[in-house]
Chains A and B, each alone.
Chain A
């Protein structure tokens, strides 16, 4: 077909499929949160002493860190869905969650006796953490990849990784309400590892499913 004929055909299709990509992304985020919440309440649920825990800074800090990750990785994912979008500042802001966590680790290092470090690092249920965060995040990851497919990611692996990071942040936010280990040592080690698993899965999946 000659290009001018193709242009005629495409321009005749001008009225088709007008939709808002922003609306689609918001809907995907809501759907992912709902699925994550359902899976969380089935496999885990909030810890018994939730109300008491909510008065300690270590418990609350987990949410500050994971929500910061959700906000910053979401911003990166949205940018990666649009061709030619500038990443600059959004990538820099990704450092926010690790920076807050690092600050908390430093406080823990100075206020807790070295003899207790190992106990706090290993925690009571690190294998549960490594299982449940990926499990809760799997549904959201699938939804984010589907939404990303509606976009036009020019870097499929990176876009998939951003979806995984966002799913990990979302899953970790919920899991934090279940988990009894509040020490920043534990969070920095096991939460990070669990979120990294989802990020790698997202990157690999992105390579295959995000081509267009």
Chain B
């Protein structure tokens, strides 16, 4: 990561923090690429899905963005979060294998069905309250705007924003439980 790239990411992030959604999407896209590379280089023996960590890092960045000082470089901050979340993912996997493998031997032996995308959407949205689930699904999967979602669901825009924010928090929380 060169200094120019960092400066560009920092510029996008500053714009995002003052409410620019387009800049935020561009920033998160750039961060996702960095973190994906970071995780792929470090996950050598499998067991942890790099994209799961990428998503968890993106959510953490969103919910902890007030801990970034706007006059500082952004990549050290991003990598520190990525490192923390990756270690956490390894730790959870270790725990899960120790505890669960005997109980679920039969389930594990069944052939894996090829529906990763479906299962992931289900898993992320499953734990949400119905309203939050409709809002998050509308905005993320269907790509609807806040206004369109409000119209479609018969809610106010404020209610949609609140449900979206709570939904994202709940997804982040769920990731940590898995």
Q: Which residues of A contact B (CB under 8 A)?
A: 1-21, 81-84, 150-152, 154, 211-212
Q: How far is the CB of A28 from chain B (nearest CB, A)?
A: 14
Residues of A with C-beta under 8 A to B145: 12
Determine if A7 and B83 form an interchain contact, defined as CB atoms under 8 angstroms apart.
Answer: no
Determine if A19 and B66 form an interchain contact, defined as CB atoms under 8 angstroms apart.
Answer: yes
Residues of A with C-beta under 8 A to B146: 12
- Count the B residues whose beta carbon is within 8 Å of the partner chain — how many? 50
Residues of A with C-beta under 8 A to B167: 9
Q: How far is the CB of B54 from chain A (nearest CB, A)?
A: 6
Q: Given the complex of chains A and B, what is the CA–CA distance between A83 and B54 in angstroms?
A: 17
Given contacts A1-B55, A3-B32, A82-B67, contact A8 B165 (CB under 8 A): no
Does B170 sit at the interface, judged by CB under 8 A? no
Does B5 sit at the interface, judged by CB under 8 A? no
Determine if A13 and B62 form an interchain contact, defined as CB atoms under 8 angstroms apart.
Answer: yes
Determine if B79 and A84 form an interchain contact, defined as CB atoms under 8 angstroms apart.
Answer: yes
Determine if A84 and B140 form an interchain contact, defined as CB atoms under 8 angstroms apart.
Answer: no
Residues of A with C-beta under 8 A to B168: 9-10, 13
**8 closest pairs, A vs B, by CB?**
A84-B80, A83-B80, A9-B140, A11-B24, A84-B76, A11-B25, A5-B140, A152-B64
Does B104 sit at the interface, judged by CB under 8 A? no
Determine if A9 and B32 form an interchain contact, defined as CB atoms under 8 angstroms apart.
Answer: no
Does B28 sit at the interface, judged by CB under 8 A? yes
Task: List 22 A-B pairs, Cβ < 8 Å.
Answer: A1-B120, A1-B124, A2-B117, A5-B141, A6-B55, A7-B28, A7-B32, A7-B58, A9-B136, A9-B164, A9-B168, A11-B25, A14-B24, A15-B19, A15-B161, A21-B66, A81-B67, A82-B69, A83-B84, A154-B83, A211-B176, A212-B176
Does B90 sit at the interface, judged by CB under 8 A? no
Determine if A10 and B62 form an interchain contact, defined as CB atoms under 8 angstroms apart.
Answer: yes
Determine if A14 and B19 form an interchain contact, defined as CB atoms under 8 angstroms apart.
Answer: yes
Q: Given the complex of chains A and B, what is the CA–CA distance between A11 and B58 in angstroms?
A: 10
Given contacts A6-B140, A9-B136, A13-B62, contact A151 B67 (CB under 8 A): yes
Q: Given the complex of chains A and B, what is the CA–CA distance between A161 and B101 in angstroms?
A: 36
Determine if B17 and A18 form an interchain contact, defined as CB atoms under 8 angstroms apart.
Answer: yes
Residues of A with C-beta under 8 A to B8: none
Query: Closest chain B residue to A5 by CB distance?
Result: B140
Residues of A with C-beta under 8 A to B176: 211-212
Determine if A9 and B77 form an interchain contact, defined as CB atoms under 8 angstroms apart.
Answer: no
Q: Given the complex of chains A and B, what is the CA–CA distance between A72 and B134 in angstroms?
A: 48
Find residues 65-81 in chain B having any chain A CB closer than 8 Å to their own CB.
66-69, 76-81
Q: How far is the CB of A132 from chain B (nearest CB, A)?
A: 34
Query: Closest chain B residue to A24 by CB distance?
Result: B66
